[in-house]
């Protein structure tokens, strides 16, 4: 029962879009239709707004993920402060303390990247067509096939980078904590 209400047409090179729209309008107007052109500036404006929204949402997700990592590492470092004090008492340097904290978080980041990227890839392939069907259209392959092997690898490495960046502040705190203070903490 559903019928299309809008057709988007791209004219060949050398054909005036305005002339084509006028001729098409003269044919379809008696049938209750119409034809107009969309200025390229309007198309670019809509695309720019959509890209800005996607970028803003991405930044918000990265910020939330970074704060989650920061929270987890702060709690973990506070729990292990006595152990770090013992390690410092037997000769662990501040640089080694930072490395210890960052390495433990990087391992979790690798696991998160190895699990999250494939799950996200599959969900993208499932959700995008459902969203398109919900508004009564289909998605071209240029919209669905946006993740090549290089981008997937960069997304996985992004998880590790996010984990390490979120852990820098607690790692610095652990390195600066005095040995005696850490040993008294229980």
- Tell me the DSSP string of 155-184: HHHHHHHHHHHHHHHHHHHHHHS-HHHHHH
The pLDDT value recorded for residue 56 is: 93
Residue 126 vs residue 133, higher pLDDT: 126
* Angle (deg, nearest 10), helices 40-79 and 94-134: 140
What does the alpha-carbon distance between residue 126 and residue 69 come to, in Å, rounded to a whole number?
28
pLDDT of 164 > 90? The answer is no
Q: What is the pLDDT of residue 43?
A: 58
pLDDT score of 38: 72
pTM: 0.59
Query: CA 51 to CA 45: how far, in whole Å?
Result: 10
- Mean local confidence (pLDDT), 107-133: 87
| Nearest-angstrom CA–CA distance, 186 and 172 | 20
How many beta carbons lie within 10 A of that of residue 53, not counting itself?
Answer: 10
The Cα–Cα gap between 126 and 24 comes to: 37
User: What φ, ψ does residue 78 adopt, rounded to 5°?
Assistant: -65, -35
Closest CA to 174 of 90, 72, 99: 99
pLDDT, tens digit (0-9, with 9 covering 90-100), for 37-95: 876 665 566 667 877 888 899 899 888 988 888 888 888 888 888 788 888 888 888 89
- Give the residue, 45 or 28, on which the prediction is more confident: 28
What are the tens digits of pLDDT across the range 87-106? 888 888 889 988 988 888 88
What H or E segment, with its residue span, contains residue 54? helix 40-79
User: CA 171, CA 97: separation in Å to the nearest integer?
Assistant: 7
């Amino acid at each position: 029962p559903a019928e299309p209400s809008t057709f988007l047409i791209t004219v060949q090179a050398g054909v005036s879009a305005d002339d084509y729209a006028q001729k098409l309008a003269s044919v379809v107007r008696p049938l209750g239709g119409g034809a107009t052109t969309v200025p390229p500036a309007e198309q670019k404006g809509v695309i720019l707004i959509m890209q800005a929204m996607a970028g803003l949402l991405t930044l918000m997700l990265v910020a939330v993920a970074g704060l989650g990592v920061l929270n987890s590492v702060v709690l973990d470092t506070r729990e292990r402060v006595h152990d770090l004090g013992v390690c410092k008492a037997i000769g662990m340097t501040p640089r080694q303390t930072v490395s210890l904290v960052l390495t433990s978080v990087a391992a979790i980041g690798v696991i998160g990247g190895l699990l999250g990227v494939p799950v996200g890839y599959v969900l993208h392939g499932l959700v995008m067509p459902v969203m398109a069907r919900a508004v009564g259209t289909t998605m071209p392959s240029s919209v669905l096939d946006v993740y090549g092997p290089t981008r997937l690898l960069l997304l996985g490495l992004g998880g590790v980078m996010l984990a390490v960046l979120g852990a820098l502040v607690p790692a610095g705190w652990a390195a600066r904590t005095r040995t005696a203070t850490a040993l008294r903490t229980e």
